[in-house]
Amino acid sequence: MKPPESLQRIQNHNFRLLKFLNEACQKCGATLLASGGTMLGCMRHEGFIPWDDDADTYMFKSDIEKLDEWLAENSDEYYVMTNWYHGHFYKLKSIHYPRLFIDIFPFQTLLIYEDRSVVTDEMVTSDDLKGHEKPLKIIYRPTRDNQRFTRWMEYWEEKQLFPLVEKRFEGIALKCPNDADGILRSFYGRYMDVPRGDHMHRNNEKVSEAIEKIDSTGFTTGQLNKIYADIAHDYLFEYRRQIKKEEKSYRKCAKWLAKSDFSDGDYSVLESFVAKCDKDDLPLLTVALMEEFKNDEKARRTLECAQYGRLADDLLAQSRPAEAAQALRKACRIDPSYGKRLFDVLSESEDESLRSEALLAVRPLAEAGDRGARRRVAKAYRRGIGVRKDPREAKRWLRPERAPQGSR
């Protein structure tokens, strides 16, 4: 049964991900096992199930962390992300194909002792326990918060899992449990019988079209910078769920953001990144970012201004406009373009002394030809913000021409 072209395209790209993951695990000393449909594919097709479009794997939690650290040091394209939205498991992803990934399901060792006590540990075998009190049984299972996604796995005894065996999958060797046949039969029954009919083919046209477009056009610098920022945000979301935050966690976020290409002088992705961050993350994150951008003065200035801007947003949310304005004044000293934000804060204030400063904050930018600033000056004259109302003067500032000379 030959899959349609759209499905083949997805399988080909997912195979590249799986091949890289397999090689990366070998290089960093992690153990990778085929699971689910990928294990079945190894046993029945020596490759993808004809109608399947993804790849599923198992790893011990400590090995996932080992892989993550190795990727951080050795790859600019691939990364591991926790999927918190649909259960606690992991995904290997590529920056070039955001909609494709390899599922990595974590599992653990349970040591069951004579007094019926159960000890949870990472990858342990009977050989590892020589010289120690031996449990009655060693079994393996998916981590507790992942069970609904791997119900079929249930529990494996040591002899079912070890020694691991290698099976072929699209020409590469993947490790499988020692009793892969028994495990698959317990869930699928007569799994070697290929179901007939092509009704099982999924509709993968949209994903396939997205892949084809990326293959033909690639990404612009701005799009790629946004991808790096999104990855850094995903890591922040993951770390917020941890009880203990570590400095190295924020360094990892900073390293992804530092992969961005700012040769065109557009640092707006840094401002957006800081604006979206949780305020509790900012202290450690700022240290990591400043260290990562220590040789890029404009990036450091952008980050400093963005922090003042973020502080202003938090103060406005607490109905403290005077303090927000003070934060933005500091940003203006570094980057005059923040005068537009300062105008917005001052012009909406009920404090007349603050409103009187609004026009001064934005006037120099307007005279330099900044369109956003010109619109704000026009607004000031139209509404009488820090100046006497003058509709005619407002219209003059809205004209696509040089700023009126001598206007007040």
Co-location of 195 and 288 in the same domain: no
CA distances, 81 to each of 101, 143, 194 (Å): 10, 17, 34
The answer as to whether 286 is a domain residue is yes
Tokens coding 390: 């003058």
Question: Which of 216, 232, 248 is the endpoint of a domain?
Answer: 216
CATH (domain of 48): 3.30.460
In-domain check, residue 118: no
Same domain, 69 and 189: yes
Are 203 and 75 in the same domain?
yes
Measured in whole angstroms, how far is the alpha carbon of residue 147 from the centre of its chain? 24
One domain for residues 334 and 384? yes
And the tokens for 96? 């070039």
Environment class of 248 (CB within 10 Å of its CB; exposed 0-12, middle 13-18, buried 19+): exposed
Q: Residue 123: inside a domain, yes or no?
A: no
What is the CATH classification number for the domain harbouring 325?
1.25.40
Pairing of strands 78-83, 172-176: unpaired
Angle (CA) 351-353-358 rounded to 5° is 95
Domain co-membership, 280 together with 223: yes
What's the rounded Cα separation, in Å, for the pair 135 and 119?
Answer: 9
Domain count, the chain: 2
Q: Is 252 inside a domain boundary? A: yes
Q: Are residues 233 and 273 in the same domain?
A: yes
294 and 238 part of one domain: yes
Residues paired with residue 140 on neighbouring β-strands, in sequence order = 109, 156
Q: Say if residue 60 is in the same domain as residue 189.
A: yes
- A 10 A CB-CB count for 158 gives 16
* 30 touches 71 (CB < 8 A): no
112 within some domain = no
Angle, CA 206 vertex, CA 205 and CA 210 arms, to 5°? 115
Distances (CA, A) of 404 to 332, 377, 383, 407: 24, 11, 18, 6
Check whether residue 207 and residue 224 sit in a common domain.
Answer: no
Q: What angle do CA 95, 100, 106 make, to 5 degrees?
A: 100
Q: Is residue 313 domain-resident?
A: yes
Domain boundary among 186, 201, 216: 216
Dmax over Cα atoms in the chain, in whole Å? 93
Is residue 275 domain-resident? yes
- Whether residues 338 and 207 share a domain: the answer is no
Tokens of 18: 């799986």
Contact in structure between 69 and 63 (CB atoms under 8 Å)? no
Rounded to the nearest 10 degrees, the angle between the axes of helix 221-240 and helix 247-258 is 170
Provide the residue count of the chain.
Answer: 408
Residue 150 domain-assigned (yes or no): no
Domain that holds residue 13: 5-103+165-216
Of the residues 216, 234, 257, which one is the last residue of a structural domain? 216
Question: Does residue 296 sit in the same domain as residue 308?
Answer: yes
pLDDT one digit per residue (tens) for the chain, 408 residues = 566 778 888 999 999 999 999 999 999 999 999 998 999 999 999 999 988 888 999 998 889 989 988 998 899 899 998 765 555 688 999 999 988 999 998 887 777 776 655 666 666 666 665 555 666 667 777 654 444 444 444 678 888 888 999 999 999 999 999 999 998 998 888 999 988 765 455 556 777 777 788 888 888 888 899 999 988 888 777 655 554 556 777 888 899 999 999 999 999 999 999 988 888 888 888 899 999 999 999 999 999 999 999 999 999 999 999 999 999 999 999 999 999 999 999 999 988 889 999 999 999 999 999 999 999 999 999 999 989 999 999 999 998 655 555 554
- Region for residue 131 given its phi and psi (left: phi exceeds 0; alpha: psi -120 to 50; beta: otherwise): left
Does 188 share its domain with 336? no
Those residues with Cβ within 8 angstroms of residue 177's Cβ, 6 or more apart along the chain or in another chain: 33, 39, 156, 160, 161, 164, 165, 183
